[in-house]
Chain A
């Protein structure tokens, strides 16, 4: 079987910021190559990517991650069959019982919830609701739902988000979906120290004679040039979605949203919205390859050469060295880059604009998967 794997490498500078913090409020860090680096966790960037999707995709292709699954399904049952409005809640609970997802008894004045977040696609909710509506007329609703095989309904027509990021259902492991996308923690290509910003806040209505601050505190931050890496296994994505066209669309959406998104931590304090200086996308046919080894020796800027220039050169050298040593040549690759400092990356692929890159990746995925199925 021919394999199609999409590796995304990003170099992105963020100004003073605290995009992702730990339980003490400090920006997250990790040690690599013997020095401390800034870090943004994969969880944080995956969520930012997923939120970025919302505007890009039709609601029917999106998933909802919630504990309020009973209310969600009851609403859909009522929409499909308004005459069942009074029984909608009870039908929804019965449906999830047959699916195997346990819902907790309601607190006073509230609706039943699951004990954990459940990721359901729009189409799964719709088909569960129509099965519930069908079964509503039967004498034994539970038996009718079982015959309609609602468990199978919850296990197909996955949303693009579920197919990319996976799903875990704690008490029904066979409803789990293995994620087709893998996102690494972003780390800075250079050493960082966390800095502290001491601030005072003035009370606007303070009388003149009453001196002193209304409040004092510190905000921790750092600034960094991050290496971000993600890979999408297009074959596994196609298994999850079951359709070549949907797979191509999911890849396009993921590539664009991963590149453009930014976690929102302390965004209003630091206005750290940036776009990457450089993006390299490589389509491979054997294995995904993370090029983070390029930065194991930390990048240090000099008076003549900035961080981005040296980081771009290190990334290019690592890619070429791996290609030479392991005969791992990408099937196709493209570079989106800003400014002269990133020029060395042109050795890795044709320089294009992001829109062209996204379209080209989508086209190659469609062509490769279409021809192999």
Chain B
């Protein structure tokens, strides 16, 4: 199996999985539907095109820098002509949009070599402009990190830490643990289920299935860590492991 890795970082991202009407929420990590949508856009698929070949991909998302939840508020107005001919403005429903600010993620997708190479190529020369979950969130810098002959977890363990320098300097140890959300194996215990398996992006009948996600972590090197430094661990005095 081969893996294509994608860098997802920028000032703002937004990965909704259950948004309705005026409240547009975000998950705290990129969703599979968001990433598959991004790849489909890179490959030039229209919203009504079948997604079959992308649906079998196994996804792992590494949380390099978790970021913060941010709420944005948006107004819209419409003009209205009064009887005397003057124009007044009426408010449309207010809408609240949620974003993750200041976050960095690495996504790894596992599949057949040819498919994965095609995705990497498409990300380097996308057919449609790409964005991190919402059109107003373009990524900072290029997205493609290359193709690897390995599995999802090994690739996520070997790629360098992509958090901002300031964030890295706040960790003193040479090794850091980064959380990973990955597709669970069949029947894996402890997996969470979320409504995030894209089936069709057709705007007239968008369809998502359920998806099982397992939480794991990988250990990567902190370029700003100091030898022998230990993370403050107040629980250590209690003994045990």
B179 within 8 A of A: no
A231 within 8 A of B: yes
Count A/B pairs, Cβ under 8 Å: 110
Report whether B12 and A185 are in contact in the complex, using a CB–CB cutoff of 8 Å: yes
Of the candidates B9, B76, B102, the one whose C-beta lies within 8 Å of that of A117 is B76
- Complex Cα–Cα for A208 and B137 (A): 56
Report whether B70 and A22 are in contact in the complex, using a CB–CB cutoff of 8 Å: no
Residues of chain A within 8 A of B99, CB atoms compared: 30
Report whether B10 and A290 are in contact in the complex, using a CB–CB cutoff of 8 Å: yes
B105 within 8 A of A: no
Chain B nearest CB: distance from A320 CB in Å? 13
- Complex Cα–Cα for A258 and B124 (A): 26
Count chain B residues whose beta carbon lies closer than 8 angstroms to a beta carbon of A: 42
Chain B nearest CB: distance from A57 CB in Å? 20
Q: Which B residues, 110 to 164, have Cβ-Cβ distances below 8 Å to chain A? A: 123-126, 128-131, 135-142, 164
Report whether B136 and A41 are in contact in the complex, using a CB–CB cutoff of 8 Å: yes
Chain B nearest CB: distance from A358 CB in Å? 21
B73 within 8 A of A: yes
- Complex Cα–Cα for A286 and B130 (A): 12
Report whether B135 and A28 are in contact in the complex, using a CB–CB cutoff of 8 Å: no
B166 within 8 A of A: yes
A33 within 8 A of B: yes
Report whether B136 and A183 are in contact in the complex, using a CB–CB cutoff of 8 Å: yes
Report whether A184 and B70 are in contact in the complex, using a CB–CB cutoff of 8 Å: no
Report whether A182 and B141 are in contact in the complex, using a CB–CB cutoff of 8 Å: no
Report whether B125 and A34 are in contact in the complex, using a CB–CB cutoff of 8 Å: no
- Complex Cα–Cα for A354 and B203 (A): 40
Q: Which residue of B lies closest to A227 (CB)?
A: B11
Of the candidates B12, B135, B164, the one whose C-beta lies within 8 Å of that of A179 is B135
Report whether A326 and B142 are in contact in the complex, using a CB–CB cutoff of 8 Å: yes
Indicate whether A30 sits within 8 Å of B12 (C-beta atoms), given known contacts A23-B94, A287-B125.
yes
Report whether B129 and A184 are in contact in the complex, using a CB–CB cutoff of 8 Å: no
Q: Which residue of A lies closest to B90 (CB)?
A: A67
Q: Which A residues, 7 to 40, have Cβ-Cβ distances below 8 Å to chain B? A: 22-23, 28, 30-34, 37
Report whether B92 and A117 are in contact in the complex, using a CB–CB cutoff of 8 Å: yes
Report whether A292 and B10 are in contact in the complex, using a CB–CB cutoff of 8 Å: yes
A236 within 8 A of B: yes
B74 within 8 A of A: yes
Report whether B128 and A233 are in contact in the complex, using a CB–CB cutoff of 8 Å: yes
- Complex Cα–Cα for A287 and B72 (A): 28
Q: Which residue of A lies closest to B135 (CB)?
A: A182
Residues of chain B within 8 A of A68, CB atoms compared: 81
Residues of chain A within 8 A of B138, CB atoms compared: 182, 184, 229, 231, 288, 290
Chain B nearest CB: distance from A36 CB in Å? 10
- Complex Cα–Cα for A176 and B46 (A): 12
A174 within 8 A of B: yes
Residues of chain A within 8 A of B126, CB atoms compared: 287
B68 within 8 A of A: yes
Of the candidates A22, A67, A287, A296, the one whose C-beta lies within 8 Å of that of B73 is A22
- Complex Cα–Cα for A304 and B192 (A): 55
Q: Which of A42, A231, A326 has the most CB of B within 10 A?
A: A42
Of the candidates A23, A34, A41, A176, the one whose C-beta lies within 8 Å of that of B203 is A176
Q: Which residue of B lies closest to A286 (CB)?
A: B125
Q: Which residue of B lies closest to A169 (CB)?
A: B203
Indicate whether A32 sits within 8 Å of B142 (C-beta atoms), given known contacts A41-B72, A233-B128.
no
Residues of chain A within 8 A of B165, CB atoms compared: 296-297
Residues of chain A within 8 A of B12, CB atoms compared: 30, 185
B86 within 8 A of A: no
Q: Which of A28, A176, A184 has the most CB of B within 10 A?
A: A184
Report whether A296 and B140 are in contact in the complex, using a CB–CB cutoff of 8 Å: yes
Residue numbers of A with Cβ under 8 A of B are: 3, 5, 22-23, 28, 30-34, 37, 41-43, 66-68, 117, 173-174, 176, 178-179, 182-185, 187, 229, 231, 233, 236, 286-293, 296-297, 322, 326, 328
23 A–B contacts, CB within 8 A, in A order? A28-B72, A30-B101, A31-B68, A33-B102, A41-B74, A42-B135, A117-B92, A173-B203, A174-B204, A184-B138, A185-B137, A187-B11, A231-B129, A231-B138, A286-B124, A287-B123, A287-B124, A287-B142, A288-B138, A291-B140, A293-B141, A296-B166, A297-B165
With A23-B94, A43-B74, A183-B136 already in contact, 7 other A-B pairs whose C-beta atoms are closer than 8 Å? A30-B12, A176-B203, A182-B136, A184-B138, A286-B124, A287-B126, A288-B130
